[in-house]
Structure 1
Amino acid sequence: MEYIIYDLEMTNRLSEIIEIGAVRITQTDEGLVDGDRFQTFIRPKADQLNSRITSLTGITNKDLLNAPSFEEAVRKFRKWIGTENYYLCSWGPEDKWALITDSAFHQTNPEWIINHNDLQFSFSMLHESEKGFRYGLTRALEKIGAEQEGNKHRALDDALNTAKIFKTMFQDITLVKNPESYLESKMFEPEKLVYQSKPEEAAASPFAALSKLFS
Protein backbone atom coordinates (compact mmCIF):
# COMPACT_ATOMS: atom_id res chain seq x y z
CA MET A 1 0.00 0.00 0.00
CA GLU A 2 1.21 3.48 -0.83
CA TYR A 3 0.34 6.77 0.83
CA ILE A 4 0.41 9.87 -1.34
CA ILE A 5 0.83 12.86 0.95
CA TYR A 6 0.12 15.92 -1.16
CA ASP A 7 -0.52 19.65 -0.97
CA LEU A 8 -1.85 22.29 -3.36
CA GLU A 9 -1.40 26.01 -3.88
CA MET A 10 -4.05 28.11 -5.61
CA THR A 11 -4.46 31.45 -7.33
CA ASN A 12 -6.83 32.65 -4.65
CA ARG A 13 -9.28 31.33 -2.10
CA LEU A 14 -11.48 28.69 -3.77
CA SER A 15 -9.84 29.30 -7.14
CA GLU A 16 -7.57 27.51 -9.61
CA ILE A 17 -4.75 25.18 -8.57
CA ILE A 18 -1.30 26.48 -9.54
CA GLU A 19 0.97 23.93 -7.84
CA ILE A 20 0.91 20.30 -6.77
CA GLY A 21 3.51 18.88 -4.43
CA ALA A 22 3.57 15.32 -3.09
CA VAL A 23 5.69 12.70 -1.37
CA ARG A 24 5.19 8.95 -1.61
CA ILE A 25 5.33 6.83 1.54
CA THR A 26 5.30 3.06 1.13
CA GLN A 27 4.34 0.51 3.74
CA THR A 28 6.81 -2.40 3.88
CA ASP A 29 7.53 -5.23 6.30
CA GLU A 30 10.11 -2.94 7.92
CA GLY A 31 7.62 -0.08 8.34
CA LEU A 32 6.99 3.15 6.47
CA VAL A 33 9.59 4.11 3.89
CA ASP A 34 9.98 7.52 2.28
CA GLY A 35 9.75 7.37 -1.48
CA ASP A 36 10.16 9.81 -4.33
CA ARG A 37 8.74 13.30 -4.59
CA PHE A 38 6.57 15.13 -7.09
CA GLN A 39 6.16 18.80 -7.92
CA THR A 40 4.62 20.70 -10.80
CA PHE A 41 3.32 24.18 -11.42
CA ILE A 42 0.02 24.56 -13.28
CA ARG A 43 -0.88 27.33 -15.70
CA PRO A 44 -4.29 28.73 -14.66
CA LYS A 45 -6.96 28.88 -17.32
CA ALA A 46 -9.17 31.73 -16.16
CA ASP A 47 -7.86 33.22 -12.93
CA GLN A 48 -4.93 35.57 -12.45
CA LEU A 49 -2.11 35.29 -9.96
CA ASN A 50 -2.33 38.32 -7.68
CA SER A 51 0.37 40.01 -5.60
CA ARG A 52 -1.02 38.62 -2.33
CA ILE A 53 -0.60 35.02 -3.47
CA THR A 54 2.87 35.78 -4.82
CA SER A 55 3.82 37.31 -1.46
CA LEU A 56 2.34 34.34 0.40
CA THR A 57 3.83 31.55 -1.71
CA GLY A 58 6.73 33.06 -3.61
CA ILE A 59 5.18 31.76 -6.86
CA THR A 60 5.35 34.27 -9.70
CA ASN A 61 3.67 34.65 -13.07
CA LYS A 62 7.00 33.68 -14.63
CA ASP A 63 6.80 30.29 -12.87
CA LEU A 64 3.37 29.69 -14.42
CA LEU A 65 3.98 31.08 -17.90
CA ASN A 66 5.20 27.82 -19.45
CA ALA A 67 3.70 25.47 -16.87
CA PRO A 68 1.47 22.60 -18.02
CA SER A 69 -2.29 22.96 -18.09
CA PHE A 70 -4.38 21.37 -15.35
CA GLU A 71 -5.18 18.42 -17.62
CA GLU A 72 -1.50 17.87 -18.42
CA ALA A 73 -0.43 18.27 -14.80
CA VAL A 74 -3.02 15.76 -13.58
CA ARG A 75 -1.89 13.23 -16.20
CA LYS A 76 1.67 13.72 -15.01
CA PHE A 77 0.62 13.37 -11.36
CA ARG A 78 -1.44 10.24 -12.00
CA LYS A 79 1.47 8.66 -13.90
CA TRP A 80 3.74 9.42 -10.94
CA ILE A 81 1.24 7.91 -8.50
CA GLY A 82 1.33 4.72 -10.55
CA THR A 83 -0.83 1.61 -10.47
CA GLU A 84 -0.31 0.42 -6.89
CA ASN A 85 -3.17 0.74 -4.41
CA TYR A 86 -2.97 4.12 -2.73
CA TYR A 87 -4.47 6.52 -0.25
CA LEU A 88 -4.52 10.25 -0.97
CA CYS A 89 -3.77 12.25 2.18
CA SER A 90 -3.84 16.00 2.68
CA TRP A 91 -3.78 18.45 5.58
CA GLY A 92 -7.43 19.48 5.77
CA PRO A 93 -10.35 18.89 3.37
CA GLU A 94 -9.79 21.91 1.12
CA ASP A 95 -7.37 20.26 -1.28
CA LYS A 96 -9.79 17.44 -2.02
CA TRP A 97 -12.52 19.91 -2.95
CA ALA A 98 -10.06 21.92 -5.04
CA LEU A 99 -9.17 18.80 -7.05
CA ILE A 100 -12.84 17.96 -7.55
CA THR A 101 -13.93 21.46 -8.53
CA ASP A 102 -10.95 22.00 -10.83
CA SER A 103 -11.62 18.63 -12.45
CA ALA A 104 -15.18 19.77 -13.14
CA PHE A 105 -14.01 23.18 -14.40
CA HIS A 106 -11.43 21.63 -16.74
CA GLN A 107 -13.73 18.72 -17.65
CA THR A 108 -11.34 16.00 -16.53
CA ASN A 109 -12.35 12.73 -14.90
CA PRO A 110 -12.10 12.77 -11.07
CA GLU A 111 -12.14 8.97 -10.80
CA TRP A 112 -8.59 8.88 -9.44
CA ILE A 113 -9.45 11.05 -6.39
CA ILE A 114 -10.12 8.06 -4.16
CA ASN A 115 -9.35 6.87 -0.64
CA HIS A 116 -8.95 10.46 0.46
CA ASN A 117 -8.08 11.14 4.10
CA ASP A 118 -7.93 14.41 6.02
CA LEU A 119 -4.83 14.14 8.21
CA GLN A 120 -5.55 17.44 9.93
CA PHE A 121 -8.82 16.03 11.26
CA SER A 122 -7.15 12.78 12.37
CA PHE A 123 -4.34 14.63 14.16
CA SER A 124 -6.74 17.02 15.86
CA MET A 125 -8.96 14.17 17.05
CA LEU A 126 -5.93 12.44 18.55
CA HIS A 127 -4.70 15.49 20.41
CA GLU A 128 -7.60 17.81 21.21
CA SER A 129 -10.89 16.43 19.98
CA GLU A 130 -12.84 17.58 23.03
CA LYS A 131 -12.26 21.24 22.10
CA GLY A 132 -13.42 20.85 18.53
CA PHE A 133 -10.38 22.59 17.08
CA ARG A 134 -8.19 21.69 14.14
CA TYR A 135 -4.45 22.14 14.30
CA GLY A 136 -2.70 24.28 11.73
CA LEU A 137 0.31 22.63 10.14
CA THR A 138 2.83 24.78 12.03
CA ARG A 139 1.24 24.07 15.40
CA ALA A 140 1.04 20.37 14.64
CA LEU A 141 4.76 20.27 13.87
CA GLU A 142 5.46 22.06 17.15
CA LYS A 143 3.24 19.57 18.96
CA ILE A 144 5.32 16.61 17.77
CA GLY A 145 8.62 18.46 18.18
CA ALA A 146 9.46 18.48 14.48
CA GLU A 147 11.27 21.18 12.53
CA GLN A 148 9.45 23.03 9.75
CA GLU A 149 11.05 22.06 6.45
CA GLY A 150 11.34 24.53 3.58
CA ASN A 151 8.89 27.37 3.04
CA LYS A 152 5.31 27.69 4.23
CA HIS A 153 2.67 27.73 1.50
CA ARG A 154 4.77 25.87 -1.06
CA ALA A 155 3.19 22.61 -2.11
CA LEU A 156 6.12 20.21 -1.88
CA ASP A 157 7.46 21.66 1.37
CA ASP A 158 4.02 21.50 2.98
CA ALA A 159 3.59 17.92 1.74
CA LEU A 160 6.94 16.94 3.27
CA ASN A 161 5.98 18.51 6.59
CA THR A 162 2.60 16.78 6.49
CA ALA A 163 4.38 13.47 5.84
CA LYS A 164 6.43 13.95 9.02
CA ILE A 165 3.22 14.26 11.02
CA PHE A 166 1.61 11.33 9.20
CA LYS A 167 4.42 8.99 10.21
CA THR A 168 4.11 9.90 13.89
CA MET A 169 0.40 9.06 14.03
CA PHE A 170 0.17 6.26 11.48
CA GLN A 171 -0.19 3.53 14.11
CA ASP A 172 -2.93 5.44 15.94
CA ILE A 173 -5.34 6.23 13.10
CA THR A 174 -7.50 4.23 10.73
CA LEU A 175 -7.48 5.45 7.16
CA VAL A 176 -10.76 5.18 5.30
CA LYS A 177 -11.45 4.08 1.77
CA ASN A 178 -13.84 6.16 -0.29
CA PRO A 179 -14.32 5.54 -4.02
CA GLU A 180 -15.15 8.13 -6.66
CA SER A 181 -18.88 7.65 -6.09
CA TYR A 182 -18.39 8.80 -2.49
CA LEU A 183 -16.64 11.97 -3.62
CA GLU A 184 -19.36 12.76 -6.13
CA SER A 185 -22.13 12.23 -3.58
CA LYS A 186 -20.37 14.49 -1.09
CA MET A 187 -19.22 17.06 -3.63
CA PHE A 188 -21.38 19.84 -2.23
CA GLU A 189 -21.22 18.83 1.42
CA PRO A 190 -17.79 20.02 2.61
CA GLU A 191 -16.92 19.52 6.25
CA LYS A 192 -17.33 22.34 8.74
CA LEU A 193 -13.96 23.69 9.82
CA VAL A 194 -12.69 25.24 13.01
CA TYR A 195 -9.06 26.23 12.83
CA GLN A 196 -6.60 26.46 15.70
CA SER A 197 -3.58 28.39 14.53
CA LYS A 198 -1.28 31.11 15.67
CA PRO A 199 -2.82 34.53 14.88
CA GLU A 200 -0.17 35.33 12.29
CA GLU A 201 -0.60 31.91 10.67
CA ALA A 202 -4.38 32.29 10.47
CA ALA A 203 -4.07 35.76 8.97
CA ALA A 204 -1.76 34.53 6.23
CA SER A 205 -3.71 31.41 5.33
CA PRO A 206 -5.92 31.67 2.23
CA PHE A 207 -8.03 28.81 3.61
CA ALA A 208 -8.92 29.97 7.12
CA ALA A 209 -11.97 31.84 5.85
CA LEU A 210 -13.45 28.59 4.54
CA SER A 211 -14.97 27.96 7.96
CA LYS A 212 -17.24 30.97 7.47
CA LEU A 213 -18.28 29.89 3.99
CA PHE A 214 -19.10 26.31 4.98
CA SER A 215 -20.78 26.89 8.35
Structure 2
Amino acid sequence: MEYIVYDLEMTNRLSEIIEIGAVRLGWINSELVVLDTFQSFVQPKMDSLNTRITNLTGITKKDLINAQPFTSVIKDFRDWIGKKEYYLCSWGPEDKWALITDSTYHKTSIDWIINHNDLQFLFSLLHESDKGFRYGLSRALNKLQISLEGSQHRALDDAMNTAKIFLAIHKDINLEKNPRSYLESKIFEPEKLVYQSKDEEEDKSSSPFASLSNLFG
Protein backbone atom coordinates (compact mmCIF):
# COMPACT_ATOMS: atom_id res chain seq x y z
CA MET A 1 0.00 0.00 0.00
CA GLU A 2 1.22 3.49 -0.87
CA TYR A 3 0.06 6.87 0.40
CA ILE A 4 -0.43 9.80 -1.96
CA VAL A 5 -0.41 12.99 0.09
CA TYR A 6 -1.42 15.81 -2.23
CA ASP A 7 -2.31 19.49 -2.23
CA LEU A 8 -3.96 21.80 -4.76
CA GLU A 9 -3.80 25.51 -5.42
CA MET A 10 -6.83 27.11 -7.07
CA THR A 11 -8.23 30.28 -8.53
CA ASN A 12 -10.30 32.56 -6.34
CA ARG A 13 -13.69 32.82 -8.02
CA LEU A 14 -14.40 29.25 -9.18
CA SER A 15 -11.71 27.36 -7.26
CA GLU A 16 -10.30 25.96 -10.49
CA ILE A 17 -7.11 23.96 -10.00
CA ILE A 18 -3.92 25.74 -11.07
CA GLU A 19 -1.30 23.61 -9.35
CA ILE A 20 -0.99 20.03 -8.14
CA GLY A 21 1.70 18.91 -5.71
CA ALA A 22 2.00 15.46 -4.19
CA VAL A 23 4.26 13.23 -2.14
CA ARG A 24 4.32 9.45 -2.47
CA LEU A 25 4.98 7.55 0.76
CA GLY A 26 5.72 3.86 0.92
CA TRP A 27 7.33 1.16 2.99
CA ILE A 28 11.03 0.31 2.83
CA ASN A 29 12.35 -2.19 5.37
CA SER A 30 9.26 -1.72 7.55
CA GLU A 31 9.77 2.07 7.60
CA LEU A 32 7.38 4.55 6.00
CA VAL A 33 9.40 6.98 3.88
CA VAL A 34 9.07 9.51 1.07
CA LEU A 35 9.49 7.72 -2.27
CA ASP A 36 8.82 10.43 -4.82
CA THR A 37 7.21 13.82 -5.47
CA PHE A 38 5.03 15.36 -8.17
CA GLN A 39 4.42 18.99 -9.12
CA SER A 40 2.72 20.60 -12.07
CA PHE A 41 0.99 23.86 -12.88
CA VAL A 42 -2.37 23.64 -14.62
CA GLN A 43 -3.64 26.13 -17.17
CA PRO A 44 -7.15 27.19 -16.09
CA LYS A 45 -9.98 27.14 -18.60
CA MET A 46 -13.02 28.34 -16.63
CA ASP A 47 -11.42 31.04 -14.51
CA SER A 48 -8.45 33.41 -14.47
CA LEU A 49 -5.68 34.15 -12.01
CA ASN A 50 -6.14 37.33 -10.01
CA THR A 51 -3.88 39.44 -7.82
CA ARG A 52 -5.21 37.97 -4.59
CA ILE A 53 -4.16 34.44 -5.51
CA THR A 54 -0.82 35.64 -6.88
CA ASN A 55 -0.15 37.43 -3.59
CA LEU A 56 -1.24 34.38 -1.59
CA THR A 57 0.62 31.71 -3.55
CA GLY A 58 3.30 33.46 -5.54
CA ILE A 59 1.92 31.83 -8.70
CA THR A 60 1.93 34.23 -11.65
CA LYS A 61 0.30 34.31 -15.07
CA LYS A 62 3.74 33.52 -16.50
CA ASP A 63 3.72 30.24 -14.58
CA LEU A 64 0.38 29.28 -16.12
CA ILE A 65 0.61 30.56 -19.67
CA ASN A 66 2.65 27.58 -20.86
CA ALA A 67 1.18 25.08 -18.43
CA GLN A 68 -0.64 22.03 -19.72
CA PRO A 69 -4.44 21.84 -19.47
CA PHE A 70 -6.14 19.89 -16.70
CA THR A 71 -6.77 16.82 -18.87
CA SER A 72 -3.05 16.42 -19.60
CA VAL A 73 -1.87 17.16 -16.07
CA ILE A 74 -4.37 14.82 -14.43
CA LYS A 75 -3.26 12.04 -16.79
CA ASP A 76 0.35 12.67 -15.79
CA PHE A 77 -0.70 12.68 -12.14
CA ARG A 78 -2.55 9.39 -12.46
CA ASP A 79 0.36 7.84 -14.33
CA TRP A 80 2.67 9.03 -11.53
CA ILE A 81 0.38 7.49 -8.91
CA GLY A 82 0.74 4.19 -10.74
CA LYS A 83 -1.06 0.91 -10.39
CA LYS A 84 -0.23 -0.06 -6.80
CA GLU A 85 -3.01 0.15 -4.24
CA TYR A 86 -3.07 3.59 -2.63
CA TYR A 87 -4.72 5.96 -0.23
CA LEU A 88 -5.32 9.55 -1.32
CA CYS A 89 -4.69 11.95 1.57
CA SER A 90 -5.28 15.70 1.73
CA TRP A 91 -5.41 18.38 4.42
CA GLY A 92 -9.12 19.15 4.59
CA PRO A 93 -12.05 18.14 2.34
CA GLU A 94 -11.79 20.93 -0.23
CA ASP A 95 -9.16 19.38 -2.47
CA LYS A 96 -11.24 16.28 -3.10
CA TRP A 97 -14.20 18.42 -4.16
CA ALA A 98 -11.94 20.38 -6.51
CA LEU A 99 -10.64 17.18 -8.11
CA ILE A 100 -14.19 15.94 -8.59
CA THR A 101 -15.45 19.28 -9.89
CA ASP A 102 -12.65 19.84 -12.40
CA SER A 103 -12.64 16.21 -13.54
CA THR A 104 -16.38 16.34 -14.10
CA TYR A 105 -16.15 19.63 -15.99
CA HIS A 106 -13.38 18.30 -18.25
CA LYS A 107 -15.18 14.95 -18.66
CA THR A 108 -12.30 12.91 -17.29
CA SER A 109 -12.71 9.86 -15.10
CA ILE A 110 -13.27 10.24 -11.37
CA ASP A 111 -13.16 6.53 -10.55
CA TRP A 112 -9.55 6.88 -9.35
CA ILE A 113 -10.56 9.23 -6.52
CA ILE A 114 -10.73 6.39 -4.03
CA ASN A 115 -9.61 5.59 -0.49
CA HIS A 116 -9.66 9.32 0.21
CA ASN A 117 -8.84 10.45 3.73
CA ASP A 118 -8.93 13.91 5.29
CA LEU A 119 -5.77 14.20 7.41
CA GLN A 120 -6.90 17.51 8.88
CA PHE A 121 -10.01 15.84 10.27
CA LEU A 122 -8.07 12.85 11.61
CA PHE A 123 -5.41 15.06 13.20
CA SER A 124 -8.05 17.26 14.82
CA LEU A 125 -9.90 14.25 16.20
CA LEU A 126 -6.64 12.97 17.60
CA HIS A 127 -5.86 16.20 19.43
CA GLU A 128 -9.17 18.03 19.96
CA SER A 129 -11.89 15.42 19.49
CA ASP A 130 -14.22 17.06 22.04
CA LYS A 131 -14.11 20.61 20.67
CA GLY A 132 -15.39 20.19 17.15
CA PHE A 133 -12.89 22.31 15.28
CA ARG A 134 -9.97 21.69 12.96
CA TYR A 135 -6.33 22.61 12.94
CA GLY A 136 -4.83 24.65 10.14
CA LEU A 137 -1.67 23.18 8.63
CA SER A 138 0.82 25.55 10.28
CA ARG A 139 -0.83 25.17 13.69
CA ALA A 140 -0.72 21.38 13.38
CA LEU A 141 2.99 21.54 12.57
CA ASN A 142 3.54 23.73 15.63
CA LYS A 143 1.56 21.30 17.76
CA LEU A 144 3.95 18.52 16.72
CA GLN A 145 7.00 20.80 16.95
CA ILE A 146 7.75 20.25 13.27
CA SER A 147 9.28 23.08 11.29
CA LEU A 148 7.33 24.38 8.31
CA GLU A 149 9.46 24.14 5.20
CA GLY A 150 9.05 25.96 1.91
CA SER A 151 6.24 28.39 1.12
CA GLN A 152 2.69 28.17 2.38
CA HIS A 153 0.05 27.91 -0.33
CA ARG A 154 2.36 26.24 -2.82
CA ALA A 155 1.13 22.79 -3.67
CA LEU A 156 4.28 20.68 -3.31
CA ASP A 157 5.47 22.50 -0.18
CA ASP A 158 2.08 22.10 1.48
CA ALA A 159 1.95 18.45 0.42
CA MET A 160 5.41 17.87 1.88
CA ASN A 161 4.47 19.53 5.17
CA THR A 162 1.26 17.49 5.28
CA ALA A 163 3.28 14.34 4.63
CA LYS A 164 5.51 15.17 7.60
CA ILE A 165 2.43 15.36 9.80
CA PHE A 166 1.19 12.05 8.44
CA LEU A 167 4.54 10.40 9.14
CA ALA A 168 4.31 11.65 12.71
CA ILE A 169 0.75 10.42 13.38
CA HIS A 170 0.16 7.47 11.03
CA LYS A 171 0.51 4.92 13.84
CA ASP A 172 -2.23 6.68 15.83
CA ILE A 173 -4.88 7.02 13.12
CA ASN A 174 -6.89 4.64 10.99
CA LEU A 175 -7.31 5.37 7.29
CA GLU A 176 -10.50 4.28 5.61
CA LYS A 177 -10.80 2.39 2.38
CA ASN A 178 -13.68 3.94 0.47
CA PRO A 179 -13.51 2.73 -3.14
CA ARG A 180 -16.61 4.70 -4.09
CA SER A 181 -15.77 7.89 -2.23
CA TYR A 182 -16.02 9.97 -5.39
CA LEU A 183 -19.77 9.38 -5.36
CA GLU A 184 -19.93 11.72 -2.39
CA SER A 185 -19.78 14.52 -4.95
CA LYS A 186 -23.56 14.24 -5.08
CA ILE A 187 -23.80 15.54 -1.52
CA PHE A 188 -21.81 18.52 -0.29
CA GLU A 189 -21.41 18.92 3.45
CA PRO A 190 -20.46 22.55 4.24
CA GLU A 191 -20.23 21.81 7.95
CA LYS A 192 -16.96 20.02 7.23
CA LEU A 193 -15.34 23.35 6.42
CA VAL A 194 -14.48 24.26 9.99
CA TYR A 195 -11.22 25.81 11.12
CA GLN A 196 -9.64 26.36 14.48
CA SER A 197 -9.98 30.02 15.35
CA LYS A 198 -10.33 33.54 14.04
CA ASP A 199 -6.61 34.16 14.36
CA GLU A 200 -5.67 31.00 12.46
CA GLU A 201 -4.00 32.15 9.28
CA GLU A 202 -5.67 29.36 7.36
CA ASP A 203 -9.21 30.01 8.57
CA LYS A 204 -12.17 29.92 6.21
CA SER A 205 -12.22 33.66 5.65
CA SER A 206 -8.71 33.65 4.17
CA SER A 207 -8.85 30.27 2.48
CA PRO A 208 -8.69 30.32 -1.33
CA PHE A 209 -10.94 27.26 -1.19
CA ALA A 210 -13.81 28.81 0.73
CA SER A 211 -15.71 29.71 -2.46
CA LEU A 212 -15.85 26.04 -3.39
CA SER A 213 -18.94 25.62 -1.22
CA ASN A 214 -20.84 27.85 -3.64
CA LEU A 215 -20.52 25.19 -6.32
CA PHE A 216 -22.50 22.69 -4.26
CA GLY A 217 -25.42 24.74 -3.04
TM-score by length of 2: 0.92
- Other-structure match for 1:71: 71
Check whether the contact 2:15–2:208 (CA below 8 A) recurs between aligned residues. no
5+ residue gaps, structure 2, are: none
5+ residue gaps, structure 1, are: none
Q: CA deviation at 1:136?
A: 0.2
The reply to whether residue 206 of structure 1 matches residue 205 of structure 2 is: no
Check whether the contact 1:97–1:187 (CA below 8 A) recurs between aligned residues. no
Check whether the contact 2:14–2:47 (CA below 8 A) recurs between aligned residues. no
Alignment of 1:1-215 (within 5 A): 1-12=1-12, 14-179=14-179, 181-190=180-189, 192=191, 193-197=193-197, 198-202=199-203, 203-208=205-210
Match of 2:146, SS? coil
**Residues of 1 paired with 2:216 and 2:101: CA distance?**
15
**Residues of 2 paired with 1:161 and 1:182: CA distance?**
24
Report sequence identity in percent: 64
Of 27-36 and 60-69, more deviation after overlay is shown by 27-36
Q: CA deviation at 1:126?
A: 0.2
Check whether the contact 1:100–1:187 (CA below 8 A) recurs between aligned residues. no
Aligned AA for 1:87?
Y
Q: CA deviation at 1:12?
A: 1.3
**Residues of 1 paired with 2:17 and 2:35: CA distance?**
24
Match of 1:140, SS? helix
**Residues of 2 paired with 1:150 and 1:211: CA distance?**
28
Change (3 A) 1:210 1:194: farther
Match of 1:135, SS? coil
**Residues of 2 paired with 1:214 and 1:48: CA distance?**
20
Q: Which runs of 4+ in 1 moved over 4 A?
A: 208-215
Check whether the contact 1:39–1:155 (CA below 8 A) recurs between aligned residues. yes
**Residues of 2 paired with 1:190 and 1:89: CA distance?**
18
**Residues of 2 paired with 1:212 and 1:183: CA distance?**
19
